[in-house]
Structure 1
Amino acid sequence: MKEKKAITLGEKYEITWQQTMLRIYDPKTTVEFYEKNFGMINLHTYYFNEYNFSLYFLITPPYDEEEKKKLPKPNTKESEKYLWNLNTVCLELTYNHNSKEKLSNGNNENDRGFGHIAFNCHDVEEYCNYLFKEKGVKFHKLPHETKMKTVGFALDPNQYWIEIVKRSNNVPWNHINKDIHNFSQTMLRIKDPEKSLYFYIYILGMKLIYVKHNSDFSLYFLKSNYINNTSSKQLENVENTNLQENNKIYNFNELKNGYQSNEHYEQFKSSWEPVLELTHNHGTEHDQNFAYHNGNVEPRGFGHIGFLVNDIESYCNELKSLNIPFKKELKDGLMHNIAFIYDPDNYLVELIQRDTSFDCK
């Protein structure tokens, strides 16, 4: 009898990170900002006028010209299908019609939680100078103003921070076009890395790819596995393993003390798909009263990150058995193909049925 393979719950349902959602003031200004300055394209838009909001889904187009030709025409049935089968992460911009709400960028004393998104580039100083001097992009800090001197922080029209970081020199698209700038990170501050890594690795099936420790904070970088996913049929006889009971799969100390080699760093800097950066400021895990702002109580700004799921109904049933807290269950509201759960820091995580569609009048 063939031995059952122990995998995470996220792997069982082929869960992949698909979106980062930010609320915005003006869709025309914001969409044009990301298109003209960062090379993104507005793949698909939903106008939910009866609910007074619109959604704009932006992606970095593939660097390969043949793959780029496969992109569907925006705002078609084909682009919607492409969106809900996406093998990377899109930026979801949410516009609440006629809202007078003042948005938060997540980096003030009263709203620290979400930190920034990021784009990779070939030359940080050159790209920042181009954005600042030629495109008129505002900056929180130019490279020479930061502690590291090797990154910059631009500001989008809604005052969200955009980190400009250097990618590896060895990526294949450098030989195609060094001016390609790819959406590369979303950063969230976390209270307890042991709890957060368990959640994102076991519940959502992400992989830890790089760890960096500093004197007073640590950074954990994770990404989804978009390539060579095992088919659902092959997973029917796979046994779920509780990571907390199986140190071979989840051992926090091994994770914390590993993933720091030059090879891991190169893997991180070479990723075309965005990574999730979890920032742990040391000591917060010992303060029972400490909590980060999740972006969904005033002042709002960052909304959630979202993941595509195979068989979302079965997955949600398993989450309930694990006592994962829900903000919205599948049966709630009018959209029965999405759910919202909370991560250990109370950030919202949207779950979306892969290959779904939304009726929009």
Structure 2
Amino acid sequence: MGSTDPSKYKFNHSMLRIKDPKKSVAFYEHLGMSVVNKFEFPDNKFDLYFLAYDSPKAASHGNHWTDREGIIELTHNYGTENDENYKVHNGNKSPQGFGHVCISVDNIQAACKRISDAGYKFQKRLEDGRMRHIAFALDPDEYWVEIIAQNAVDKTEGVKETDLQTYRMNHTMIRVKDQEKSVKFYEEVMGMQLKRTSENKEAGFNLYFLGYGPPAGEATANGVNPSASREGLLELTWNYGTEKKEGKVYHDGNSEPQGFGHICVSVDDLDAACKRFEEKNVEWKKRLTDGRMKNVAFVLDPDGYWIEVIQNEKYKEAPGKY
């Protein structure tokens, strides 16, 4: 048995179920992402598409797919694209749970115009509401994709060009019942660090941004998010008072209605990491030894969200792939 160092862990990907892979892959490619890996399971009738930013300017350009952060995994079950009644659950309609993925861009006005010009819909445009510095595009399954600026919002007239190669898959948002329990779990069990907290007392909610790697800088006077140029952050949204409710508050996306599936952390030594999780008394959805797939495990967080655990191939040449 080897040893494990949580500082080497990476928030590798977030999985979303999709209806039509052609439409979904085209959408995320329009956002500048590339298919960095694909697994086909014809016997089980599903395929997995892994998309990430992979240009020479990307945060993890050229890395093995397990040695990255900010991947979006699209899961396609064969036949759904031809099923008129099939619809995924985006997590924002009842029952709520998963909220959104988020990309950060160099020029938010130009980026949003480019998405709109391609015919894609928005849940919230820049000019809607009070928050004029963020937008939410809708992917083909109506998952929300937040768009934030990496630098000061450009208020000049006219729209400049946007460079897709500079984009980042910044974070994934999930709602949590009890902020203290969830932050403690992701810090002490998953080895993440709390990078930033955003309190919104008038609106009755707080946001907690956690991740691996270096600490975030301080927010600037112009309101720019100091973590906007990063990848692999987890945003926990806590609505005041939910911690006092009885039982489960949020939907994990895997029971009906299905949509979001899991987040995934890649680790330096899979066996040692799972042994560490065992010592932390985690609740397992799937141990390494369960079932046929002996190279993935699933831990449950305090709200019952699934966290996949995989081997980062950079640290260990594990035989085969899943």
Q: Structure 1 length as normaliser, TM-score? A: 0.76
Quick check: 1:120 aligned with 2:104?
Answer: yes
Note the aligned Cα RMSD (angstroms).
2.8
Matched AA of 2:136? F
What is aligned with 1:155? Answer: 138
Indicate the percent of aligned positions where both proteins have the same amino acid.
35
Q: How much has 1:169 moved relative to structure 2? A: 4.7
Q: Aligned runs of 1:1-361 on 2, under 5 Å?
A: 11-12=5-6, 14-36=8-30, 38-64=31-57, 68=61, 71=62, 82-86=64-68, 88-99=69-80, 100=83, 101-109=86-94, 111-132=95-116, 134-169=117-152, 178-179=163-164, 180-215=166-201, 216-225=204-213, 261-262=218-219, 268-355=226-313, 356=318, 358-359=320-321
Q: Distance in 2 between matches of 1:226 and 1:144?
A: 33
Is the Cα contact below 8 Å between 1:57 and 1:90 reproduced in 2?
A: yes
Give, in whole Å, the separation in 1 of the partners of 2:305 and 2:43: 27
In the superposition, relative to structure 1, how do residues 358 and 263 fare at CA in structure 2: closer, same or farther (>3 Å)?
A: farther
- C-alpha change, 1:353 and 1:151, in structure 2 (3 Å) is same
Distance 1:154 1:22 in 2: 16
SS for the counterpart of 1:144 is coil
Counterpart CA distance in 1 for 2:245 and 2:217 is 27
Aligned residues: 301
Q: 1:357 to 1:190 in 2, by over 3 A?
A: farther
Instruction: Sort the Cα spacing of 1:156 and 1:214 in 2 relative to 1 into closer, same or farther, 3 A.
Output: same
* 2:11 partner amino acid: W
Aligned to 2:8, the other structure's residue is in SS state coil
Q: What residue identity is the alignment partner of 1:212?
A: S
C-alpha displacement of 1:210? 1.0
Say if 2:91 and 2:98, in contact at 8 Å, map to a contact too.
yes
**Is the CA contact (8 Å cut-off) linking 1:10 and 1:202 kept in structure 2?**
no
Query: Partners in 2 of 1:327 and 1:353 — Cα distance?
Result: 17
CA separation of 1:357 and 1:44: change in aligned 2, threshold 3 A: farther
The question of whether the paired residues in 2 share the 8 Å contact of 1:223 and 1:274 is answered with yes
CA contact (8 A) 2:282 2:300 kept: yes
Find the aligned partners of 2:59 and 2:294 in 1 and give their Cα distance: 36
Q: Is the 1:284–1:290 contact (alpha carbons within 8 Å) kept by the matching residues of 2?
A: no
Deviations, residues 85-135 of structure 1 (Å, cap 9, x unaligned): 22x2211110011245421000012x2000001111133233222211x21
Q: Which deviates the most, 156-165 or 348-357? A: 348-357
Unaligned runs of 5+ in 1: 1-8, 72-80, 171-176, 228-258
Q: Deviations over 1:37-89 (max 9, x none)?
A: x1000011110111111000001124538985xx3xxxxxxxxx811222x22
Match of 2:73, as an amino acid? E
2:168/2:229 contact within 8 Å kept:
no
1:135 and 1:288 map into 2 onto residues whose CA distance is 45
Distance 2:285 2:130 in 1: 38
**Quick check: which has more Rg, 1 or 2?**
1
Contact 2:105 2:149 in 1 (8 A): yes
| C-alpha separation in 1, matches of 2:58 and 2:279 | 45
Q: Within 2, Cα distance between the matches of 1:30 and 1:267?
A: 28
Contact 2:134 2:149 in 1 (8 A): yes
Instruction: Report the more deviating stretch, 273-282 or 293-302.
Output: 273-282
What code does the residue aligned with 1:187 have?
M
Q: Is the 8 A contact 1:191 1:292 kept in 2?
A: yes
8 Å CA contact retained: 2:218, 2:226: no
Q: In structure 2, the residue corresponding to 1:31 is in which secondary structure? A: helix
Q: TM-score normalised to the size of structure 2?
A: 0.85
What do residues 173-230 of structure 1 show as CA deviations (whole Å, max 9, x unaligned)? xxxx755322111100011111111111111111211111012000011121289xxx
| Higher helix proportion (structure 1 or 2) | 1
SS at match of 2:303: coil
Corresponding residue number in structure 2 for 1:245: none
With over 3 angstroms needed to count, the CA separation of the structure-2 counterparts of 1:65 and 1:331, relative to structure 1, is closer
